[in-house]
Amino acid sequence: MKKRLLIATGGGDCPGLNAVIRAIVKRASFHREWEVLGSIDAFDGILRDPMHLVELTEERVSGIHVMGGTIIGTTNKGGPFAWPVKNADGSWGAVDRSQDLLDRLRYQNIEAVINIGGDGSQRISQSLFEMGCPIIGVPKTIDNDLSDTDFTFGFQTAVDVASDAVDKLVTTAASHHRILILEVMGRYAGWIALHAAIAGGAEVCLIPEIPYDIEKVMDAIHKRTDLGKGFAIIVIAEGAKALGGKMVFSENDEPGAMKIQLGGVGLQLSHQLKAVGCEIEIRETILGHLQRGGRPNAFDRVLASQFGVKAFELVLEQKWGHMVAYKHPDIIGVPIKEAIRHYNLIDVDSDLVKTARGLGISLGD
Ligand code: F6P
């Protein structure tokens, strides 16, 4: 009987997931004793009745490395430790189905699991590992907020999309002599914002790691208008906040969903600028899920492929509870518990921040 490896992709999708899946399947094909299955929509494919699993053959994954999304689906709702259930009164609650998940994996003769996901998914990996699950993690997220890896795949593609948006906003801002605000994703980290601001040449970049002073933002705009430039580009991370202020979010009450949905800080910034006397016209763009969709760029295809190959090698070595990670120039395995210990936020004293300051980009402080 063949050994069975299960792949799941969990959390928000990001460019490069299919490249990881393909790389795992290709690497596993050298070992004919293994067969690879995909669980549809993260671990829901195992937990649903009937189960929804697909065989991942070399034929099935051929050419998918250039495709966005994930051919096995994903979800950022619920999961084995908080499976949504409808109560008798119609309200939604959650139950722990982690033991059920392990029983079902055993029933399916699954000998190894590779869980491709971000912070939330790797927390699930760690908890399952502690319950005895033979599991390997692969870090993905456009936010680049997982520790112990230089980059997660998906991030560079998101930065390309955000930088391209800055380029486009520059031409229209210049034509209309406006301030254009670009709100980008990234959750509690400013990686996408800061990279896009540097790549695109923005005047102001506001990130969660540095709460902004609206007067300082106004100063930067004045400095620019004094130079005769009648426009400015501000890149703001969705998790940014004003000094003494709060992050802008809405409560998501969909069953099993993450409760906090960030978004809207760009519009808030626009109001704040007007409140301190900004007389230049302002418009806001929320880049949203465009940053997550579409084809991965070459960097992410390479990184995702490296992660996939290494993940299968960790399976062969039975390095359960480890996550693949990029530590330039190597691809290594690190304990998942280290990677989820804290968020990878921007170090405000880092060279990246110094570069931005050196270019005259105002960080609002
Ligand atoms: O973690 C990836 C991410 O795109 C964040 O940048 C963003 O805050 C969140 O997911 C959006 O989630 P959803 O797709 O549920 O709106």
Rounded distance, CA 17 to CA 64, Å? Answer: 9
Among 161, 249, 261, which is best to mutate for testing ligand 1, by the most ligand atoms less than 8 A from CB?
Answer: 261
What pTM was estimated for this model as a whole?
0.96
Contact 272, 214 (CB under 8 A): yes
Q: What residue type is assigned to position 250 of the chain? A: S
Residue 263 pLDDT level (bands cut at 50, 70, 90): very high
110-138 pLDDT, tens digit per residue, is 999 999 999 999 999 999 999 999 999 99
291 CA: nearest ligand 1 atom? 4
> Which residue ranges form the domains of the chain, and what is each CATH number?
3-153+296-328 (3.40.50.450), 156-292+347-358 (3.40.50.460)
Neighbours of 354 (CB within 10 A): 11
Alpha carbon separation from 220 to 50, 182, 255, 307, 321 (Å, rounded): 59, 16, 43, 42, 47
**Ligand 1 pocket, 161 CB below 6 A?**
no
DSSP element (H, E) containing 115: strand 110-117
301: tokens are 């295809």
Query: How high is the pLDDT of residue 226?
Result: 72
Rounded distance, CA 265 to CA 299, Å? Answer: 30
Sign of CA dihedral 262, 265, 266, 268: positive
**Ligand 1 pocket, 146 CB below 6 A?**
no
Residue 344 pLDDT level (bands cut at 50, 70, 90): very high
Residue 346 pLDDT level (bands cut at 50, 70, 90): very high
Separation of first and last alpha carbons in the chain: 63
Tell me: pLDDT of 257 over 90. no
